[in-house]
Amino acid sequence: MADVGLNSNLEVDQRKFHIQTSTNIDGGFIKSEVFEQGRLLYSELYYYERRRQQDDKGLERRIRQLADQFHRTIVEEIEALFHISERVNQENDAQAHEKIGRIFLFMHVYDKAEFHFSRAMELDPQRYSSGVYLGRTYYRQRKFQQAHAVLSNLLKYNIQYPDFYNLFGLISLERKQYIQALQYLKQALHYNPEYVEAHVNLMRVLLRRIQFLRAENRPEEKNKVISFLKITMQKVHEIGDDSTRKFVQQLFQQIQKGAINKAVAYADEFFEKHFEKRFPPELIGHQFYLFLKYYSDEVTFSLLERFEERLQQAIDARINYPDLWYYIGLIHLMQCRHYFLQGKDYFREATRINPNFEKAAKNRRIIENDSREFLALIKAIV
């Protein structure tokens, strides 16, 4: 059976996007990639349940249907987010600006992210988190000088966010200011000793320091740094997940062999894959919040299902954010409302086909007479 491929062009807010979706039957997933002017912005995967089918045609029809639904939902999401952005612009809500800015940051739509973070800071100068996200937006574009300037301006407020110092460390690392990078990352770990990303970045800085000392032929200093690196690796092995522990084990083997250049490249690759490109699960909640507040009338049932699935995956992965449980509860209420109204339509159709269908007529009357309080309750909660 051949894989399925879908393509769509989308114009929104004077921008042109191309969405490309394909199936991988052997892997059991569907992948959508979003491009702007030929540049890949981001991609999303959907793993579907594999079922045994008696015939290839039935399997192909099911997979094509899943791919088409996933593809259309991605297109709907992009279009909706730009409309939501316009509506957020009409209100002076710093929190909403920060939430949608974070989503645009993940999408690599950097100009929109910059705008919303800057606006959030204008509306609430003490919203330092927006400043950190603005700095990260510049960092992602390799605008290190601008990123450094934004964070330096926040130093006077004595911010105690681990993310703030972790980002400062990343910027210093890219600028080859290794001593400063070490200081910032140690500060991040002072505020959160179990901050895995900061530990990994500390390891990356130490590896580059080892590279430098080896090139300078300073073995005593190099061995001291290697000892510190191994202590850091042990800590990461203790607090990290399975993939992080595997990374530490392989990195240790490379260091033991003296393959420092390979170790540097491997650590950078791990950071890029597991931290830079990772979709923060709380963004699912942010996105649903924005859809609910600014786009509720246009939310389709397929979008609700997609939000439900993504939130459930995060919950199944034991990500214990209370907001995830809260939002999935709201989704179930909205789905309940959808099925309730759909049920009323079906009873109406049954009585249209057979006006003497007393049971259907009775159920229809009950719903029409007593549904207002039920629907009002759901609306009040949602």
Q: How far is the CA of 95 from the CAs of 110, 117, 163, in angstroms?
A: 18, 10, 18
Per-residue pLDDT at 309: 86
Mean per-residue pLDDT for 77-85?
A: 95
Per-residue pLDDT at 1: 59
Does some domain include residue 182?
A: no
Q: How far apart are CA 279 and CA 292, in angstroms?
A: 21
Q: How far apart are CA 108 and CA 195, in angstroms?
A: 24
φ, ψ at 11 (rounded to 5°) = -110, 125
Residue where a domain terminates, one of 277, 306, 330: 277
Q: How far apart are CA 108 and CA 238, in angstroms?
A: 33
- Residue 173 C-alpha from the chain's centroid: 24
- Assess whether 366 and 297 both reside in one domain: yes
Q: Are 109 and 137 in contact (CB under 8 A)?
A: no
- Assess whether 267 and 231 both reside in one domain: yes
Residue where a domain terminates, one of 243, 277, 311: 277
Tens digits of residue pLDDT in 248-278 = 999 999 999 999 999 999 999 999 999 988 8
pLDDT band at 50 (very low <50, low <70, confident <90, very high): low
Q: How far is the CA of 120 from the CAs of 53, 84, 107, 117, 164, in angstroms?
A: 52, 15, 19, 5, 17
121 has a pLDDT exceeding 90 = yes
φ, ψ at 96 (rounded to 5°) = -65, -40
167 has a pLDDT exceeding 80 = yes
Does some domain include residue 304?
A: yes
Q: Are 235 and 189 in contact (CB under 8 A)?
A: no
The 10 Å Cβ neighbour count of residue 293 is 15
> Cβ contacts of residue 370 below 8 Å, gap of 6+?
none
- Assess whether 294 and 352 both reside in one domain: yes
- Assess whether 101 and 78 both reside in one domain: no
- Assess whether 273 and 289 both reside in one domain: no
- Assess whether 272 and 289 both reside in one domain: no
Q: Are 21 and 81 in contact (CB under 8 A)?
A: no
Range of the domain at 132: 91-159
In percent, the amount of the chain with pLDDT more than 70 equals: 96
Does some domain include residue 338?
A: yes
- Assess whether 268 and 207 both reside in one domain: yes
Predicted model pTM = 0.85
- Assess whether 289 and 267 both reside in one domain: no
φ, ψ at 355 (rounded to 5°) = -60, -20
> Cβ contacts of residue 179 below 8 Å, gap of 6+?
none
Supply 55's token pair.
């015939």
Does some domain include residue 327?
A: yes
- Assess whether 78 and 116 both reside in one domain: no
> What string of DSSP letters covers 261-308?
HHHHHHHHHHHIIIIIS---THHHHHHHHHHHHHSGGG--HHHHHHHH
163 has a pLDDT exceeding 70 = yes
Q: How far apart are CA 184 and CA 177, in angstroms?
A: 11
CA nearest to 70, candidates 310, 296, 381:
310
Does some domain include residue 349?
A: yes
- Assess whether 355 and 286 both reside in one domain: yes
Report the number of distinct structural domains present in the chain.
Answer: 4
Does some domain include residue 166?
A: no
382 has a pLDDT exceeding 70 = no
- Assess whether 200 and 269 both reside in one domain: yes
pLDDT band at 129 (very low <50, low <70, confident <90, very high): very high
Q: Does residue 201 sit in helix, strand or coil?
A: helix
- Assess whether 262 and 310 both reside in one domain: no
Tens digits of residue pLDDT in 200-220 = 999 999 999 999 999 999 999
Does some domain include residue 167?
A: no
Cα-Cα-Cα-Cα dihedral sign, residues 246, 252, 254, 257: negative
23 has a pLDDT exceeding 60 = yes
Q: How far apart are CA 22 and CA 7, in angstroms?
A: 9
pLDDT band at 52 (very low <50, low <70, confident <90, very high): low
Per-residue pLDDT at 338: 82
Residue where a domain terminates, one of 84, 110, 144: 84
Q: Does residue 218 sit in helix, strand or coil?
A: coil
In percent, the amount of the chain with pLDDT more than 90 equals: 65
Q: Which residue has the tokens 């959030």?
A: 120
Does some domain include residue 72?
A: yes
Mean per-residue pLDDT for 228-237?
A: 95
Tens digits of residue pLDDT in 337-380 = 888 888 889 999 999 999 999 999 998 888 887 777 777 777 67
